[in-house]
Chain A
């Protein structure tokens, strides 16, 4: 009988909040890329054991980024639009040696595909989701994912401005909307439904301005943002999707938008939803009057704390140069007008829009400093860390490479005060950040960077080190400088294989990348297909039969997340 090959990660201080393990010294066992229960002595006799000594190291599940922009046409457009960003940052060099076969790549605010995988992995992350792919661009996203090594991936599809979805909502055809959502999720190989500025992008694309309130009807279609959010949230629940709808509200970035955000949360009437980059939606003040701009995090957080059906990720702004990219076309135009910098806008047929603008966040600029403070307020005011995930909305608020700095700001009030001193003093009046004394513990950091996002996404195998979970593990060297500690993990293990050792990427040439793309197959009513086909054939540039991503292409890479299952 062939001997079993086991790996033991011995003696590390484990933080696994999903299993109520908070800093316990213990051994972790893995086999064939999965965590297993400690083997019995008889099992041990029949096995070859590889031992990794983790004594003194902090051990956490691999990081999970639930909202990031790492693939698809918008990311590619941004790469093309910013050659200077590529030129000013250190590239990833090609290595051909035996255990370090890495491909070359460029970094900056929008790294190239291979570099994205290496950088995420080097940071201790093993899973990342792209938050905005037009279904029409799903093929492109899958192709880029294929070239994004070392991390598991997945993406959400944009449905909040999709013509077919909007017209079904306008007609009150909830069942057909549900079938369409189920069909298009399968056709695209997607993971969840994303709503971006519901109705607003479509209005802007049609030359009718933007949508600024929930009950403003789209003139040519007839539905309102309220109906869109409600309808799609219901469809996601009826389909039993592991992740509820992922909402980017109307009025992103505008003073006074917290009213819209609150109204959108209330409009869901108890339905589950995830509100993304909530920082950008928590502003008080009057439109067009910067002097009134202020934080409304406290109001929103109070509502949030009392409504367990809602989860958020922050979208923290970090100071420095970055590139904003959004499916919110009118927002891209707004930013271009505000910053005066170059702008790309794109229109994806009947599905979505897109805007890309370079942006430099300056700590001495009041608006930027306040955005930064509002993000931190969210982390500190949200009482339940299981419902808030760390994100910078990469690269919109900053690169994911800023996560260690965010961790340092959250864990150390002194560090936060230092940063506050450097920022524009106007934020002291306009936000409560200075008076918040909360400091995150390592356990809470483990929750907001891996366990909570995995749970929000419904990924039972991620963000946990329980037997059966994926053996995605990160080892950190304990350090009083939390930024250094989290920026340079001592070791990263992906599916049981050591992929980062002391900053070196270890990839064997010729060994295929074993990472997977997470998707759902919720099923749908085939009776709805003829109507979708009819609409398709008369409106799209693509034939209906050519639209779905080839199933055989997906089969090789797919990891299916169960639908309709009860969440842990």
Chain B
């Protein structure tokens, strides 16, 4: 395992898209220390900001120290494991294709934005635009899974196309805005206007009746095995990821289906208590 320890925290953000386990695996530590990072508008090297120890050859990286202003870590990664012990900054795992990112701390905005595959697990909170589409993009996240034990900010999973996002806590406004397909599970409270302009896809809020937009229509109690199956899957997932304690899974009540958003296609659904 390669360990990268942030030497000191700094207010100016560090753009470190080179920090991804798949490409670092084949590099020796001297080369890694010399990789380019951008400190604000200044070009710098990894070694200027991190103490580099161990070896990345096993495809595993551990980030330590205050990385709350380290951006783009694990972005575009295709394989391997990135562990973060502490907070991490914006765009972590953006456009990720495979592998695992595990964050024991809070994540910044745009976590897993437009990701295509792989898994991101956050033991803590995440910022705004988690698993979202970047501005102007026609499709957002296209595959993979994001599990957050804590809460998230606004516009969770905007324009999601495929994949699963699970939030243990609450979300900000507009979760699942522009949803195209895929599933979002919110175990705490959903923010206002969930699923605005969603075309297809499912938004599960099993323990809270959110404030729905008037363009959603009640379609009666849900008569489907799908939530039960999903619940089972989440239980297994929590066990596998060792999240039993943090991701509080209590059994889901009978859910009611709200169909929408009727300003667009209207084939999406919000499943929540009546």
Check if A and B associate: yes
CA distance A379 to B137 in the complex (A): 36
Query: Does residue A83 face the partner (Cβ distance < 8 Å to B)?
Result: yes
Query: Does residue B134 face the partner (Cβ distance < 8 Å to A)?
Result: yes
Closest A residue to B133 by beta carbon equals: A84
CA distance A82 to B137 in the complex (A): 9
Q: By DSSP majority rule, is chain A's interface helix, strand, loop, or mixed?
A: helix
Closest B residue to A87 by beta carbon equals: B134
Query: Does residue B135 face the partner (Cβ distance < 8 Å to A)?
Result: yes
Query: Could you say which of B136, B137, B138 has the most chain A C-beta atoms within 10 Å of its C-beta?
Result: B136
- Residues from chain B with a CB closer than 8 A to the CB of A83 are 134-136
Residue-wise, chain B 134-156 has the 8 Å CB interface mask toward A (1 for contact) of 11111000000000000000000
Closest B residue to A80 by beta carbon equals: B136
Query: Does residue A85 face the partner (Cβ distance < 8 Å to B)?
Result: yes
Closest B residue to A94 by beta carbon equals: B41
- Residues from chain B with a CB closer than 8 A to the CB of A84 are 134-138
- Residues from chain A with a CB closer than 8 A to the CB of B137 are 84
- Residues from chain A with a CB closer than 8 A to the CB of B135 are 83-84
Q: How many residues of B contact A (CB 8 A)?
A: 5
**What is the distance, in angstroms, from B212's C-beta to the closest C-beta of chain A?**
26
**What is the distance, in angstroms, from A341's C-beta to the closest C-beta of chain B?**
8
- Residues from chain B with a CB closer than 8 A to the CB of A87 are 134, 136
**What is the distance, in angstroms, from A104's C-beta to the closest C-beta of chain B?**
9
CA distance A332 to B135 in the complex (A): 22
A-B residue pair count with CB separations less than 8 angstroms:
13
- Residues from chain B with a CB closer than 8 A to the CB of A82 are 136
- Residues from chain A with a CB closer than 8 A to the CB of B134 are 83-84, 87
Residue-wise, chain B 216-250 has the 8 Å CB interface mask toward A (1 for contact) of 00000000000000000000000000000000000
Q: How many residues of A contact B (CB 8 A)?
A: 6
**What is the distance, in angstroms, from A451's C-beta to the closest C-beta of chain B?**
40
CA distance A85 to B135 in the complex (A): 10
**What is the distance, in angstroms, from A43's C-beta to the closest C-beta of chain B?**
49
**What is the distance, in angstroms, from A384's C-beta to the closest C-beta of chain B?**
43
- Residues from chain A with a CB closer than 8 A to the CB of B138 are 84
**What is the distance, in angstroms, from B157's C-beta to the closest C-beta of chain A?**
18
Residue-wise, chain A 80-96 has the 8 Å CB interface mask toward B (1 for contact) of 01111101000000000
Closest A residue to B137 by beta carbon equals: A84
CA distance A331 to B99 in the complex (A): 47
Closest A residue to B41 by beta carbon equals: A94
CA distance A93 to B240 in the complex (A): 45
CA distance A65 to B137 in the complex (A): 31
**What is the distance, in angstroms, from A391's C-beta to the closest C-beta of chain B?**
27
Closest A residue to B138 by beta carbon equals: A84
CA distance A438 to B153 in the complex (A): 62
Closest B residue to A84 by beta carbon equals: B136
Closest B residue to A81 by beta carbon equals: B136
- Residues from chain B with a CB closer than 8 A to the CB of A85 are 136
Closest B residue to A82 by beta carbon equals: B136
CA distance A82 to B136 in the complex (A): 6
Residue-wise, chain A 191-229 has the 8 Å CB interface mask toward B (1 for contact) of 000000000000000000000000000000000000000
CA distance A84 to B133 in the complex (A): 10
CA distance A83 to B113 in the complex (A): 15
CA distance A82 to B135 in the complex (A): 8
**What is the distance, in angstroms, from A105's C-beta to the closest C-beta of chain B?**
15
CA distance A543 to B79 in the complex (A): 64
CA distance A290 to B117 in the complex (A): 40
**What is the distance, in angstroms, from B36's C-beta to the closest C-beta of chain A?**
13
Residue-wise, chain B 163-186 has the 8 Å CB interface mask toward A (1 for contact) of 000000000000000000000000
A 55-97 contacts with B by CB, 8 A: 81-85, 87
**What is the distance, in angstroms, from B39's C-beta to the closest C-beta of chain A?**
15
CA distance A1 to B173 in the complex (A): 76
Closest B residue to A341 by beta carbon equals: B138
**What is the distance, in angstroms, from B71's C-beta to the closest C-beta of chain A?**
15
CA distance A567 to B173 in the complex (A): 65
**What is the distance, in angstroms, from A453's C-beta to the closest C-beta of chain B?**
33
**What is the distance, in angstroms, from A240's C-beta to the closest C-beta of chain B?**
46
CA distance A84 to B137 in the complex (A): 6
**What is the distance, in angstroms, from A403's C-beta to the closest C-beta of chain B?**
27
**What is the distance, in angstroms, from B180's C-beta to the closest C-beta of chain A?**
14
CA distance A81 to B137 in the complex (A): 11
**What is the distance, in angstroms, from B260's C-beta to the closest C-beta of chain A?**
20
CA distance A528 to B240 in the complex (A): 84
**What is the distance, in angstroms, from A379's C-beta to the closest C-beta of chain B?**
34
Closest B residue to A86 by beta carbon equals: B136
CA distance A84 to B138 in the complex (A): 9
CA distance A83 to B137 in the complex (A): 8
**What is the distance, in angstroms, from A477's C-beta to the closest C-beta of chain B?**
32
**What is the distance, in angstroms, from A288's C-beta to the closest C-beta of chain B?**
25
**What is the distance, in angstroms, from A553's C-beta to the closest C-beta of chain B?**
31
CA distance A81 to B135 in the complex (A): 9
- Residues from chain A with a CB closer than 8 A to the CB of B136 are 81-85, 87
CA distance A85 to B134 in the complex (A): 11
**What is the distance, in angstroms, from A87's C-beta to the closest C-beta of chain B?**
6
CA distance A83 to B134 in the complex (A): 8
**What is the distance, in angstroms, from A336's C-beta to the closest C-beta of chain B?**
15
CA distance A84 to B134 in the complex (A): 7
Query: Could you say which of A81, A84, A85 has the most chain B C-beta atoms within 10 Å of its C-beta?
Result: A84
A-B contact pairs, 13 of them (CB 8 A): A81-B136, A82-B136, A83-B134, A83-B135, A83-B136, A84-B134, A84-B135, A84-B136, A84-B137, A84-B138, A85-B136, A87-B134, A87-B136
- 7 more A-B contacts (CB under 8 A) besides A84-B137, A85-B136? A82-B136, A83-B134, A83-B135, A83-B136, A84-B136, A87-B134, A87-B136
- Give 5 closest A-B pairs by Cβ, nearest first: A84-B136, A83-B136, A83-B135, A84-B137, A82-B136
